[in-house]
């Protein structure tokens, strides 16, 4: 909920303890960058990213966007939509992006241009909050355990990475709430159990 990463950078909230930031960045093999979105520490729900670009909530301030661009060097696009929890509505890697069906065609086009990928709209396990239902890297995709076989196949076709259902944090199906991952490693919630760890390691290939 508080952090987001790709294969090069870990976005962390301002005020996070330096020791925690160092450990997380070391685990994920990336450089930590302190940011805020609309002055908030809840970075995860308010943005989505891959290695090509970042999309953020319309509430993001100009100064915050400038800081992110300066530190990371990627395009940052503010989405003109009333929905502000962008991270809950988009799941993406460098091969494609899945976005919620509630977003307009105009916003979908902006997402495609910002992340430089093909974008498809769909729901997952009957939820429109697709960004909460799946976690994607370029190597694997973890998806809500009630995703149908047809949905799993479609996710594979869009993101072009192996897809497998799982839970996190001892049975939580909303996998994005407890996983931060890139192509190098993954960090999960502290109460994630042994079988979940084995499954997540297999899916994400870490």
pLDDT in tens, the chain (206 residues): 789 999 999 999 988 888 999 999 999 999 999 999 988 888 999 999 999 999 999 999 999 999 999 999 999 999 999 999 999 999 999 999 999 999 999 999 999 999 999 999 999 999 999 999 999 999 999 999 999 999 999 999 999 999 999 999 999 999 999 999 999 999 999 999 999 999 999 999 99
Query: If one looks up domain 4-204 in CATH, what number appears?
Result: 3.75.10.10
What's the confidence (pLDDT) of residue 40? 86
Closest CA to 203 of 130, 153, 142: 142
């Amino acid at each position: 909920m508080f952090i987001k990463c790709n294969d090069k950078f870990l976005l962390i909230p301002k005020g996070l303890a330096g020791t925690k930031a160092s450990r997380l960045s070391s685990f994920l093999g990336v450089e930590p960058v302190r940011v805020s979105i609309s002055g908030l520490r809840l970075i995860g729900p308010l943005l989505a990213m891959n290695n090509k670009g970042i999309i953020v909530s319309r509430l993001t301030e100009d100064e915050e966007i400038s800081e992110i661009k300066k530190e990371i060097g990627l395009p940052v696009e503010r989405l003109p939509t009333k929905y502000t929890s962008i991270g809950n509505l988009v799941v993406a890697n460098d091969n494609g992006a899945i976005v919620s069906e509630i977003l307009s065609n105009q916003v979908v086009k902006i997402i495609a241009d910002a992340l430089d990928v093909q974008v498809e709209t769909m729901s997952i396990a009957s939820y429109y909050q697709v960004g909460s239902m799946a976690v994607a890297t370029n190597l694997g995709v973890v998806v809500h355990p009630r995703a149908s076989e047809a949905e799993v196949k479609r996710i594979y076709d869009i993101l072009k990475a192996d897809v497998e259902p799982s839970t996190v944090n001892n049975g939580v199906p909303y996998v994005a709430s407890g996983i931060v991952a890139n192509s190098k490693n993954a960090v999960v919630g502290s109460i994630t159990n042994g079988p979940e760890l084995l499954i997540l390691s297999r899916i994400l290939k870490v």
